[in-house]
C-alpha cells in the first residue's frame, strides 16, 4: 500500500567501486523519531575491493547469493554463504569481499539516523 508519505526508493543501481553496486529498494521513516530504514541490494563481483566503512545505525545483512568474507572490527573475519545473516553494529568499521567465483549479493537493511550519510569511508 502506498501513501503520500511513502519514501520508497526508485530502484537505481549505483556503482560505489569497481565491481561493487548498490540498488536502494526502499526508504521509510520509522516510528522512532529521527530514524529511518533503508533497504538495498548490494552486488559484489569477485574483483571488487573490500571498502572499509561505517553506517550511522545498525545494518542487518542477508546473503542472497555467493560466498562473502566479512571483516567486522572487533570480530574474527568470517565467510558467509547464501542463506546466512549477520548484523553490523552502528558505527563499527567493516568491509566485505567476494571469495566466490561469481557475483555475490546481499539484502542490506539499515536502521539509521535520518539526515546522515548512509555510508562513511573508514581508514
What domains does the chain contain, in order, with CATH numbers? 13-121 (2.60.120.10)
Quick: pLDDT tens for 28-86: 999 999 999 999 999 999 999 999 999 999 999 999 999 999 999 999 999 999 999 99
What one-character-per-residue DSSP string does 52-101 give?
Answer: -EE-SEEEEEEEEESEEEEEETTS--EEEETT-EEEE-TT--EEEEE-SS
pLDDT band at residue 10 using 50, 70 and 90 as cut-offs: low
Does 2 have pLDDT greater than 50? no
Q: What's the pLDDT score for residue 1?
A: 38
Q: What's the pLDDT score for residue 11?
A: 74
How crowded is the C-beta side of 109, counted as CA atoms within 13 Å? 11
The overall average pLDDT reported for the chain is 91
Does 13 have pLDDT greater than 90? no
Question: Which of 117, 119, 112 is CA-nearest to residue 94?
Answer: 119
Amino acid at each position: 500500500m502506498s501513501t503520500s508519505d511513502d519514501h520508497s526508493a526508485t530502484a537505481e543501481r549505483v556503482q560505489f567501486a569497481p565491481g561493487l553496486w548498490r540498488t536502494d529498494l526502499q526508504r521509510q521513516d520509522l516510528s522512532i523519531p529521527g530514524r529511518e530504514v533503508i533497504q538495498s541490494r548490494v552486488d559484489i563481483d569477485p574483483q571488487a575491493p573490500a571498502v572499509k566503512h561505517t553506517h550511522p545505525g545498525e545494518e542487518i545483512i542477508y546473503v542472497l547469493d555467493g560466498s562473502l568474507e566479512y571483516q567486522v572490527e572487533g570480530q574474527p573475519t568470517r565467510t558467509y554463504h547464501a542463506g546466512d545473516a549477520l548484523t553490523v553494529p552502528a558505527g563499527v568499521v567493516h568491509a566485505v569481499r567476494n571469495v566466490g567465483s561469481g557475483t555475490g549479493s546481499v539484502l542490506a537493511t539499515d536502521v539509521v539516523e535520518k539526515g546522515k550519510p548512509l555510508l562513511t569511508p573508514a581508514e
